[in-house]
Structure 1
Amino acid sequence: MSAPTPASPRAVAPPAADRVRSPLLAQLGLGARLALGSGREGWGRLLLTACGVGLGVALLLFTAAFPGIVEHRNQRLYVQNDTFGSDSPVPPGDRSLLIAVADTTFKGTPIRGRVVQPEGAHAPLPPGVAAYPQPGRMVVSPALAELLNAPGSRLLRDRLPYPVVGTIGPAGLLGPGQADYLLGSDRLTVDTGARRITAFGHFSPPKPMDPKLILLNLVGLMVMLAPVGVFLAAAARFGGEQRDRRLAALRLGGADRRMTARFAAGESLVGTVLGLLAGTALFLAGRHLIEQITVAGFSFYAADVSPQPALAALVAVLVPLMAIGVTLLAMRRVTADPLGVVRRTGEGRRRVWWRLLLPLTGLAVMAVALMLPTQYNPSGMKQSAVFNSVQDTRGSLLVAFGVLLMLVGVCTLLPWLVEAVTRRAPGGALSWQLAIRRLQLGSGPASIAVSGIVVAVAGAIALQALFLGVSASYEDVRRPLPTAGRYQQSTSFPGGAAQADALADRLAQAPGVTATAAYTEFPVTSVSGQDWTRIRIADCAVLGGFAALPSCKDGDAFVMRPGLSDAAAASPKPGADVRAAVFDGEGEPPVWQLPAVTATVDGIAGANGRPDSGMLLITPAAVPATVLRGQPATVLVGMAPGLPDPNEQLITDAMAISPQSHTAFPPDRQQDQTYLAVKRLLTAGSVLTLLLVALSLLVGQLERFREQRRILGVLYAFGTRRRVLGLSVLWQTLLPMALGLALATVGGLLMGPMLQYTAGLAFALDWASMLAMVGIASGAVLLTTLLGLPKLLRLMRPNALRYE
């Protein structure tokens, strides 16, 4: 009987526990376990890394929330757009509402006001309001209620003396810091400046932003985020010297150099992940506190501050990847052997060619932006090449990217510059020699500590130069006053033309008012619509302040001699049928005939330095009374000198007559609102960036002290005085700071004129502001160093020599 044939051998799968995973993931995981199991010192390093990364992640998450903030703010603006005009008149009915603007400003704080009068039982309620206030009563926002009760708000309480019967909720406000009120009335009419609506919320096409402001926004964003990236990269390298000892032990256990680099990356990854969690927690905490803060005139509800999911996911992925990449890059200069770790110095000097390549590439990118064909042509001209290509959004993006490359180049040049200077540094005091020797052995940590402030200063100088050029286009606009002499201000009353003289008499009784003069002015057009002119209606005494009248009696009409700009204008002839070109009253404007001209007169120069021209001056008896219906009245006001708060007092006196009044102050500058919004946002972002940089400097300083504690302990044990050691640490900060600020100043002075040139702006530099930036940066570095000295003194003890 033959023996059984043995079965053919089959491959046996190894147990699941013995299967080989991805070597990269396994090595990163081992590095993470080593970081978590490295004892108290290791956890201290992880916490410092988490704090540093968390600060950067929190600011990145706030940046990622910016599109959502803009979207929510646009929705709230849509809801607040309640006094829009309609193509077809809205008839009164059960669902109609009369509403009028009653805005004001108190000591620089804008206050949004509306006067409302429901015409039917089903009139739409304003958002955020539970019920309409009764006539003579008002509901206010929490911010306005606080302002009314604040000390020093007597004039505001006199201006709004109505009983408060309710609060406007978040649905009707742009933010918790908005001052807003809703006043009930029973005297509104369309002829007196009110609008009739049947719903709240109206879409208005967004006004295209000036390309210079787009460029300012993009450059500002790059300047604010570049220090964040620098600090995130620096935080990922915290604790490098402590990590080196573990890498040497791993080399003794058989790991090769590539594996040790991955172990180091795994250790950094743990701190970065903890930083992501800490940054998320800090963002959520700041999100709840943001309602208590008003920054540069803006306030936000916590519900509106939510990062875009795609951007938040990008932050969650890129920050750990950056930590891994930075650690692997840093390990290229480290040789981990079984007997220790050696960092390459001496012959392995830093190369400068690729560091110079970055700013040169940035300049090249900006040059390419200038050569792009532009689609920006606001005047519809055929020769679009005369417009700067940077005024197109594509060009602005390229310029912003070029600025980012130049900022990165400034950051990478700093370690090379510190190494080159310390290599040739002369001898000196013992503290100086200790500091120079420490920088010669490894200038990287000291350079990294001030890299964030260097990038911030370089970007701030460049941004300030661009901002200076852009602001010249927006900050010089002044409101002219129609006449000079005894009048300094003017107050307008919507729909008050028929009672213009009575309004002037009432305002003349206000304290501090020395003289008043009332008139009505509006454009008229012929019935055919081909000819138009402006008319000004007032009595002879008032018209004599606008032109040199030979004689005047009620019923006369005068035409002002046309100026150069009026030569081509076609004006209606006397006796022609005309009507108001701008009419806010009920129904259609009346048609009437222009009166015969008594004489042609020359205008008198007003506060704007030039006389009016090409206008009709008409006395009241020369026009039908119906012509004044729906037209505004303007009252010129002369004020006595030496009054306390004369502007606030005049606004209060005018609003006591009518809450719809609006008082203008011609000598004051009138800034563009979009420009003001951009300016305030950049100011708020700069404050947050400066705070982040200051905190990052302190965290990095504490980490460097921890790494040097055994060296400091040895030196102190051998008799080195604390003052010498403290000065050596100060020198280690001062030298990189001085070199960094010099480099930042040079970089900023190169980028600033380049940005002005690309934007087509005149060259200008504010040297005082630039020196102030450098001084603030120096103070921040010195302050954080001084705050770290108590920690340094605690490390100069014999127990710092303990080593496990």
Structure 2
Amino acid sequence: MSATDPRVRRPHLDQLALGARLAVTSGRDGWGRLLLTACGVGLGVALLLFTASFPGLVHHRDQRLYTQNDTFRDEDLPTPGDRTVLVATADTAFHGTPVRGRVVQPEGPDAALPPGLAAYPAPGTMAVSPALADLLKDPANHLLRERLPYPVTGTIGPAGLLGPGQADYVLGGDHLSVDTGAVRITAFGHFSPPKDMDPKLVLLNAVGLTVMLAPVGVFLAAAARFGGERRDRRLAALRLGGADRRMTARIAAGESLVGTVLGLAAGTALFLLGRQLIGRVRLAGFSFYPEDVAPQPAIAAAIAVVVPLMAVGVTLLAMRRAALDPLGTVRRSDPGRRRIGWRLMLPLAGLSLTVFALTLSDPAQGTRGSLLVAFGVLLTLTGVCTLLPWLVEAVTRRAGGGPLSWQLATRRLQTGSGPAATAVSGVVVAIAGAIALQTLFLGISTQYEQYARPQPTTGPYRQSVTFPGGAPTAEALADRLARSPGIQATAAYTEFALESATAKSWELPSVRIASCAVLRGFATLPHCEDGDAFALQGPTARPGTDPVPPGTTVHAAYYRGTGEPAPFPLPAPTATVTPVQDADPNGRIGSGLLLLTPAAVPADALRGQPATVLVSLADALPDPNEHLTTAVMAIDPQARTEFPLDPAPDATYLAVKRLLTAGSAITLLLVALSLLVGQLERLREQRRVLGVLNAVGTPRRVLALSVLWQTLLPVALGLALATAAGVLTGTVLQYSSGVPLNTDWASLLAMTATAAGAVLLTTALGLPQLLRLMRPDALRHE
């Protein structure tokens, strides 16, 4: 062979190609091994591609939120013209499902169209999203149909929705005005800077993403080692033919690359399939259009490069424990005891980095600290994963006698505990991470749920309704609402802040205007006639400010009506009164509030101000909140019904909670599928051993139990290790981030039991394959 022969110049490529050729020409067993490797790698790659789509998904959602930000009012409203349109908010919620609503009234022929619509709905008709149309068609949702009784004349397209699952409607109006809460705009969509997320929620997101992705690396590494024993025997035969150790390493790398490339293709196919189906899925209350789910090109390219490199690295690392000599492989001999020193250093280093990042770098002030914490958690989980093989080996070395099935299982684990421990490592990492995340989440949620939990009240009113621009007709609105079924009593008032030419709103008292009958429910009045004014708990000025003399010309602050607010003289208090305990469920009665009767202010001062109506519902009314909301929207679709005494968790916290819950469920599903694939591969590796044992008369029940013991022992040890590591990591996260120390043992037991159940289920699903292998033809060898 001449020196110019390309085979001489490219020996490395030729050896990689030989490994690839051996992988695809090894008969039925070879293709089965490739299929299992492709399935294992494909599951991990699909999840990585979906994760890589998250930044683009956030970007597209921000763009859609921008188009829906249409009721933001600038300081200077445009004047009515050919391009202006009046828009009013008419949102509601039905059994926990938010329904976005807008009332629109074009003021000219060239008025901008709401996104997703081809034409304005006529007054009294509405266009709805497909999701809301489905809700309205449901026979059980009669209250929603009563709330939105308008004829449907159009459909809102994707351009006007956050996702296919968003319930949205646009109602045509003919009575809107700025004084009744509408906003005049010339174009839909308004940029508003994103609200900074609570630093503790940023930390929770970083830890959650790490916990959900850490098992993926374990699964990819395990899938790359499928068929390791058969590959080693094949490479030993190549050594007999003259190949040296470096050549066999490159051939093994070529074999691994074939399965990994097939896994990349399978993962891409799974991603594309899931992308098409995602429009039909509601994930933690969110929905997405398929075209919005696209991985970032740089991240996708990194996945395409890193996954094959990781497979090659894992293969070469695994070969270090095997002596591939011409006379055979000696992997089955005693590999020597594993060392625990460096295995303990990994979790200790991870916990130390986590404490350092949380206490010294203060990740609550930026993303860099949260990334350090995430890396520390990842290092801890990696250390826990490396501890499991040592723990399995240490326990099986000391395993004594017992039933025949137990002895077969322990002997198998003693001669090679690596594959069994590797299969369970994904479960260990997933459960340890989930417990740490749950522990951190519990500490953070205590803060949010404490704030969301309202104080108990003994007052007569528990609900509140706000009618935009309804101050001039507040009493009439309250009377009309009181005639609705199930409503026992109502009380109407108007409240707004004041300011003057020389004093700002925080320097002046706020005023609450209502009839004498309503004011007596708020304070203990010595007497009351129309025209009286009462100072609540002391002088009219707020504590720490100079009193404002009566007669000072004041006007409504934060005025949202047309023109300028009407000025009026500040009334002189008739008397100083004390408030009634729990009179207002909104809890806004306090010092510095003026209680005024309607005649104490000019009627023009009420223009553009909202009316608040407190409501008391009958105890026997079924589904009271939905009935009240329906009654309110029958009066005015712009009215907003509030339940101040019901828990109201922070919206961002609730979204993070839902996403983490959904992500954990997806990770658990990946755990189960990967376990099943690994179980099938291990059975294929043991087919000859099982065939020999069955041929010499070993009962099938004993063989089945031995396989079950081979799974249960590493799982039991792994779950114990995962629980200890998860609780320790979660406690460190709680303590270092300054949240209350708390552990939900019931949830921990539930997660551990769920993981154990998933392992048992996948083991049971592999039993039919086990029974097929326990036949004489399993002794056939190619």
Q: Which runs of 5+ in 1 are unaligned?
A: 1-11, 374-387
Aligned to 2:627: 649
* 1:518 maps to 2:496: no
Within the candidate set 422, 438, 443, 2:412 is matched to: 438
Aligned to 2:421: 447
Deviation at 1:480, TM superposition (A): 6.5
1:562-581 aligned at under 5 Å gives the runs 562=538, 566-570=542-546, 572-581=548-557
In structure 2, C-alpha distance between the alignment counterparts of 1:667 and 1:17, rounded to whole Å: 81
C-alpha distance after superposition, 1:411-434 (max 9, x if no partner):
010011101110111210000000
1:467-616 aligned at under 5 Å gives the runs 467-478=441-452, 485-530=459-504, 531-562=507-538, 566-570=542-546, 572-606=548-582, 607=585, 612-616=590-594
Residues 649 and 587 of structure 1, relative CA distance in 2, 3 Å threshold: same
Aligned to 2:342: 354
Residues 596 and 556 of structure 1, relative CA distance in 2, 3 Å threshold: same
In structure 2, C-alpha distance between the alignment counterparts of 1:17 and 1:29, rounded to whole Å: 14
1:576 alignment partner AA:
T
* 1:37 maps to 2:25: yes
In structure 1, C-alpha distance between the alignment counterparts of 2:446 and 2:609, rounded to whole Å: 35
Is the partner of 2:320 in helix, strand or coil? helix
Residues 151 and 427 of structure 1, relative CA distance in 2, 3 Å threshold: farther
Alpha carbons 1:481, 1:608 under 8 Å: kept: no
2:757 alignment partner AA:
G
C-alpha distance after superposition, 1:489-520 (max 9, x if no partner):
11111110011011011101110011111111
In structure 1, C-alpha distance between the alignment counterparts of 2:541 and 2:383, rounded to whole Å: 53
Alpha carbons 2:539, 2:547 under 8 Å: kept: no
Aligned to 1:249: 237
Alpha carbons 2:466, 2:611 under 8 Å: kept: yes
Residues 791 and 563 of structure 1, relative CA distance in 2, 3 Å threshold: farther
Residues 170 and 562 of structure 1, relative CA distance in 2, 3 Å threshold: farther
Alpha carbons 1:212, 1:391 under 8 Å: kept: no
Within the candidate set 197, 201, 205, 1:217 is matched to: 205
Give the TM-score normalised by the residue count of structure 2. 0.97
Alpha carbons 1:518, 1:636 under 8 Å: kept: yes
Aligned to 1:702: 680
In structure 1, C-alpha distance between the alignment counterparts of 2:145 and 2:690, rounded to whole Å: 64
Aligned to 1:745: 723
1:746 alignment partner AA:
A
Deviation at 1:667, TM superposition (A): 2.1
1:137 alignment partner AA:
T
2:451 alignment partner AA:
V
Alpha carbons 2:332, 2:416 under 8 Å: kept: no
Within the candidate set 660, 668, 678, 2:638 is matched to: 660
* 1:156 maps to 2:134: no
Deviation at 1:682, TM superposition (A): 1.1
Within the candidate set 374, 382, 403, 1:429 is matched to: 403
Deviation at 1:681, TM superposition (A): 1.6
In structure 1, C-alpha distance between the alignment counterparts of 2:316 and 2:400, rounded to whole Å: 34
Is the partner of 1:187 in helix, strand or coil? coil
* 1:408 maps to 2:396: no
Residues 347 and 270 of structure 1, relative CA distance in 2, 3 Å threshold: closer
Aligned to 2:659: 681
Alpha carbons 2:509, 2:540 under 8 Å: kept: no
Aligned to 1:764: 742
Aligned to 2:260: 272
Aligned to 1:3: none
Aligned to 1:376: none
Alpha carbons 2:535, 2:595 under 8 Å: kept: yes
In structure 2, C-alpha distance between the alignment counterparts of 1:348 and 1:564, rounded to whole Å: 85
1:794 alignment partner AA:
R
Alpha carbons 1:478, 1:667 under 8 Å: kept: no
Aligned to 1:802: 780
Within the candidate set 684, 704, 715, 2:693 is matched to: 715
Alpha carbons 1:24, 1:262 under 8 Å: kept: yes
Is the partner of 1:473 in helix, strand or coil? helix
Aligned to 1:418: 392
In structure 2, C-alpha distance between the alignment counterparts of 1:97 and 1:642, rounded to whole Å: 44
C-alpha distance after superposition, 1:192-242 (max 9, x if no partner):
010000001111011111111110000000000000110000000001122
Is the partner of 1:218 in helix, strand or coil? helix
Residues 542 and 313 of structure 1, relative CA distance in 2, 3 Å threshold: same
Alpha carbons 2:540, 2:593 under 8 Å: kept: no
- RMSD over equivalenced CA pairs, Å: 1.8
C-alpha distance after superposition, 1:258-309 (max 9, x if no partner):
3222221211111000000000000000000000000101000000000000
Give the TM-score normalised by the residue count of structure 1. 0.94
Residues 165 and 608 of structure 1, relative CA distance in 2, 3 Å threshold: closer
In structure 2, C-alpha distance between the alignment counterparts of 1:510 and 1:475, rounded to whole Å: 33
* 1:317 maps to 2:305: yes
In structure 2, C-alpha distance between the alignment counterparts of 1:117 and 1:608, rounded to whole Å: 32
1:52-451 aligned at under 5 Å gives the runs 52-343=40-331, 345-346=333-334, 348-370=336-358, 372=360, 388=362, 390-451=364-425
Alpha carbons 2:332, 2:415 under 8 Å: kept: no
Deviation at 1:575, TM superposition (A): 1.0
C-alpha distance after superposition, 1:592-619 (max 9, x if no partner):
1111110000111115789632200000
Q: Which runs of 5+ in 2 are unaligned?
A: none
1:133 alignment partner AA:
P
In structure 1, C-alpha distance between the alignment counterparts of 2:263 and 2:540, rounded to whole Å: 68
Deviation at 1:257, TM superposition (A): 2.2
Alpha carbons 2:212, 2:664 under 8 Å: kept: yes
Alpha carbons 1:251, 1:337 under 8 Å: kept: yes
Residues 744 and 482 of structure 1, relative CA distance in 2, 3 Å threshold: closer
Equivalenced residue count is 778
Deviation at 1:481, TM superposition (A): 9.6
1:505 alignment partner AA:
D
Is the partner of 2:357 in helix, strand or coil? helix
Deviation at 1:18, TM superposition (A): 4.4
1:247 alignment partner AA:
L
